[in-house]
Amino acid sequence: MRPRRSGLAPGAVFGLALAAAIGQAPAASAAEPAVASAPGRDHAWVREQVDAVVERYDLPGIAVGLVEDGEATLVHTSGELVLGSGDPVTPRSLFKIASNSKAMTAAVLARLVDAGRLAWDDPVIRHLPQFRMHDPWVTENMQVRDLLIHNSGLPQGAGDLMLWPGPNDFTREDIINGLAHLKPERSFRSGYAYDNLLYVVAGEVAAAAGGASYEELVRREVFEPLGLERCQVGAFDRDAVGDIAQPHMRLDGVHVAYALDPPRVPEITSAAAGGIRCGLEDMLAWARAWLDPDRAPDWLSAQQRKAMWTAHTPLPVPARQHDWSRTRLRAYGYGWRLADVHGQWSVSHTGTVGGMYSVLHLLPDRDSGFMVMINGSGDAARTVLDQVLVEYLLGEGGDRDAMHYADALAASAADRTASGRAPDVSVREPATAADMAGWLGTWRDPWFGEVTVCEAGGRVEFASARSPRLSGVVMDTRLGRLVDWHADSVDAEAWLRLEQGSEGPVLRMAKVDPDADFSYDYEDLEFTRTGECPVGGR
């Protein structure tokens, strides 16, 4: 590992005062710095770790880059854009950066604050008069800053079924209208729960204040001034852009490509929350612009840089992060997660969206960081590489390598399986229409819209009118009824339960596996019956 450098503070005391610790990195040298490495712990070692992770998790493709002392010192790619295509991943290959888009959305707003077009404490309704939350007081008092820091009081991932799985026909207007029907689980500003919908709202606030679409603002305020030449947002021509990684999922233990881009890649509703694509070269340029303000001195004021990296909402510290990285405090800024890692200041974010995983991790006191992008089922791989690369840059870790952490994750997963937290629903059979007589019909949720539970082809089918991938067969298990989705890419099955409400029957849903991705927010749905099944079934 790289030895710990002397003469650097081991990280400022982390708390709300973290905001004052904006990196005061020296201007970058034009020459690539020498990389101080212990024997066997140099860039060759890093490449070996990346390759070992690729092999361990059978990843389709990966792009990894390091920044050290303000300079991009390592770019390492392997695999293919699409398995079997022969098209290699390159440093210019576009990946979906998913929630790493949030920092770019926040940066657009920060630029508009610098320009005097809005203020962080503006009420949202000043820019979007139609905006409504479930509680009228929250509607009146939610500020622009609140859209970015996950303190709304809504459950984690509330309303995400309007974003994923795609494609669906929910619009940004639908999201703004639907928020009024999403019930909070706690009071406003009382705690943290990750939220995507309010980032979509933030993008629309930017559009209203900036006088252009969200997509145009990202190009104008982020891509162009920072020279992010390959990054894409909104609709684009797939073949004209070229070199685009495609998502993969595991099917019967093997990665297969799915949801391939059409020739004309469409604009998506969720762009401000997680819809930007970039290549490794551009993401390293983005990282360096944050590590060293002198690289883009006129892009963003020191005041707004400080605001972006201020600790606004405290976050819980997972036991694993405490054990692996000695982390004691975490918080959310504007589109960034802030923490202490091995006594050093850490600014980072992950990105996850249908077959794509990423992590951007900055260590401002070291003027260093890294980017990892994967086009397959890469949750564990991302966790392992994040840990190994942080330790490499900080001179921590000792003899621990990628396989040490991969083995630890595997053991944890085995313990979870043994605990029985995920119920065994392997024994199942299709429910019959006769048994489900009181369930059949057309149902409506106020934000998700209409679904049908109807006989089709001798089985009972659940089908969403607005989200086509949420269609499947109702199955009976010993623990209750669930929906077995037709689309392999929908990997969280849902319980289906019929309850008696105060005004009639209510159809409710919940994740079968309570640890499934929170964006499958079935628990937020509450369907009331509106009619019979359509003639001929669903």
What pLDDT does 536 receive? 65
Contact 245, 89 (CB under 8 A): yes
Identify the helix (H) or strand (E) that includes residue 455.
strand 449-456
* Dist CA 334 CA 206 (whole Å): 14
Residue among 277, 239, 249 at smallest CA distance from 469: 249
* Dist CA 38 CA 345 (whole Å): 23
402-419 vs 43-57: helix crossing angle, rounded to 10: 30
Going along the chain from its start, the domains and CATH numbers come out as 16-99+279-414 (3.40.710.10), 429-531 (2.40.128)
Amino acid (1-letter code) at residue 59:
L
Alpha-carbon distances, residue 131 vs 105, 176, 178, 198 (angstroms): 19, 6, 10, 11
DSSP string, 307-333: HHTS--EEE---HHHHHHH----EEE-
Q: List the alpha helices (DSSP H) in 154-279.
A: 172-178, 197-210, 214-218, 224-226, 238-241, 271-274
* Dist CA 382 CA 355 (whole Å): 13
Q: How far is Cα of residue 40 from the mean position of the Cα atoms in its chain?
A: 34
Q: What is the pLDDT along the chain (538 residues), one digit of tens a residue?
A: 333 333 333 333 333 333 333 233 333 323 333 333 333 358 999 999 999 999 999 999 999 999 999 999 999 999 999 999 999 999 999 999 999 999 999 999 999 999 999 999 999 999 999 999 999 999 999 999 999 999 999 999 999 999 999 899 999 999 999 999 999 999 999 999 999 999 999 999 999 999 999 999 999 999 999 999 999 999 999 999 999 999 999 998 999 999 999 999 999 999 999 999 999 999 999 999 999 999 999 999 999 999 999 999 999 999 999 999 999 999 999 999 999 999 999 999 999 999 999 999 999 999 999 999 999 999 999 999 999 999 999 999 888 999 999 999 999 988 877 766 788 999 999 999 999 999 999 999 999 999 999 999 899 999 999 999 999 999 999 999 999 999 988 989 999 999 998 889 999 999 999 989 999 999 999 999 999 999 865 4
Contact 508, 494 (CB under 8 A): no
Cα Rg of the chain, angstroms: 24
Amino acid (1-letter code) at residue 56:
R
Q: What would the two tokens of residue 489 be?
A: 């890419």
Contact 127, 205 (CB under 8 A): yes
Q: If 0-12 CB within 10 Å is exposed, 13-18 middle and 19+ buried, where does residue 92 land?
A: middle
Alpha-carbon distances, residue 134 vs 14, 74, 144 (angstroms): 34, 48, 17
What pLDDT does 478 receive? 96
What pLDDT does 415 receive? 81
101-114 vs 197-210: helix crossing angle, rounded to 10: 30
Q: What are phi and psi of 402, to 5 degrees?
A: -60, -40
Beta bridge partners of 244: 94
What pLDDT does 397 receive? 83
Contact 340, 153 (CB under 8 A): no
- pLDDT tens for each residue of 250-280: 998 999 999 999 999 999 999 999 999 999 9
Alpha-carbon distances, residue 324 vs 143, 344, 346, 359, 490 (angstroms): 36, 14, 14, 17, 32
* Dist CA 274 CA 439 (whole Å): 36
DSSP string, 441-454: EEEEETTTEEEEEE
- pLDDT tens for each residue of 65-76: 999 999 999 999
- pTM assigned to the model: 0.91
* Dist CA 297 CA 314 (whole Å): 30
What pLDDT does 420 receive? 67
Q: What is the largest CA-CA distance in the chain?
A: 76
